[in-house]
Amino acid sequence: MQIIFALLILLLFNISSCVRETPVQTPRKIKRMSQEKFFEIKKIKLDRFVLKTMKNENIDMWIVLTREYAVDPLAKDLSADKAVAKTALIFVNEDKNLKKIAICASYDVDPIQKSGIYDTVISYKKEGLAPHLKKIVEEINPKKIALNISEDSPIADGLTASMLEYLKNTLGEKFAKRFISSENIVIAYRSQLLPEEIEIMREAVKITEEIISKALSNEVIKPGKTTEKDVANYIKKLMRDYGVGPSWEEESCPSVNAGITRGHSEPSDYVIQRGDLITIDFGINLSGYCTDIQRTAYVLREDETQPPDYILKMFETNVKSIEEGFKKMKPGATGFEVDSSARAVILSAGYEEYPHAAGHVIGYSTHEIGPILGPNWKDRYGKKPFYKLLPGQIFALEPSVYLYSKERNGYLRIGLEEDVLITETGAEFLSTPQKELILIK
């Protein structure tokens, strides 16, 4: 009995030793930003980018109106997203300073005041917002009043039709004639990032690439067994391990598309087969900053050591398209110029043109306000392809190559997407451009 007991003790010791010696695999230490810092940066950007834009365009006043159930997209940036009753956020160009005034119901004062954004917070009770707003506007007598109205940019289009009428009735025809769009103010405020923000984006891009690299591998993908959903679930587990969220709706982030392309869609139960192209379109949200990257792999057939020539040609064309588009990216360039350069490579190689823009701004959201790297398709993109690129903006650059397959009765697609920072003098890849097709054996 004593011998058996001793053996059991020895066995338990060995097991516990093995457990201790096996290190737990955890992601590296991640650079993050606190909520306090996030909102501190928003305040700095008001004084830096908003004031500069208002001065450049001779805008005297910017008014943002918000209320519950019709919350302006900028309300959270301006610490008024919890306001219940009508709330006016007023920004006044005083040349050297940006004066910030909030008018809100008495029960909405506390969070707005605590934000530290506003020089003055005026509360109203039964008299309502209108007399306070009218008094301020009449005293300042602005020649141009910017409002969140934009046909092309949803983030700058938060003023509802009824609230526009409310402003007209409150301020009268004299001031209503001075209303203009705040679109350029919002573009400057949201799309241009400070150095601290760019550092978080660098970290987020790095994590995004690490996750995609692990997913597009022989360890994860077993041809004939692994489904698109399996790959997506693996990525979602890694996101939890890293402590990050999805860049867009969780149902389709990541997008995993094997075989013929389905565009923006959720991962399916399709079983990945040999001879398939696999594209992952994926981004993460790290401390409020969003990435957007695509990578493509090819699943080798049993008798293949490399992809067919037509697949390699598609891939090489896409790589060149991104390179040529990137060359045009610098402050002052237009999105149209970038797209035209990227699109020309694909058309000259004999492929159909891709049915979308070559890219868009990323940052606080996946499709952030700002220039579209796109063609002159007026109804679809409006004036956005002709907006100029600004320093501090980050773009997802994503021209694609499509080829119709009679065998599969659908389009094959190479999807590459790189995240690019606009610097003071040019551009910089934040992601490491994919130059070789990933092979799954």
The string of pLDDT tens digits covering residues 8-27 is 444 443 333 333 333 335 56
The string of pLDDT tens digits covering residues 151-180 is 999 999 999 999 999 999 999 999 999 999
Nearest of 200, 202, 231 to residue 217 by alpha carbon: 231
pLDDT bucket at 1, cuts 50 / 70 / 90:
very low
With the C-alpha atoms ordered 272, 273, 274, 280, is the resulting torsion angle positive or negative?
Answer: negative
Q: What is the mean pLDDT of residues 338-344?
A: 99
Triad 106, 108, 111: Cα angle to 5°: 130
35-189 is classed CATH 1.10.357.10: no
Stretch(es) of the chain classified as CATH 3.90.230.10: 192-440
Stretch(es) of the chain classified as CATH 3.40.350.10: 35-189
- Its pTM stands at 0.92
The string of pLDDT tens digits covering residues 264-322 is 889 999 999 999 999 999 999 999 999 999 999 999 999 999 999 999 999 999 999 99
Q: What is the mean pLDDT of residues 127-156?
A: 98
Q: Are 234 and 252 in contact (CB under 8 A)?
A: no
What's the token pair of residue 64?
């943002």
pLDDT bucket at 381, cuts 50 / 70 / 90:
very high
Beta strands 61-66 and 87-93: pairing type?
antiparallel
The whole-angstrom separation of Cα 199 and Cα 286 is 11
The CATH code belonging to domain 192-440 is 3.90.230.10
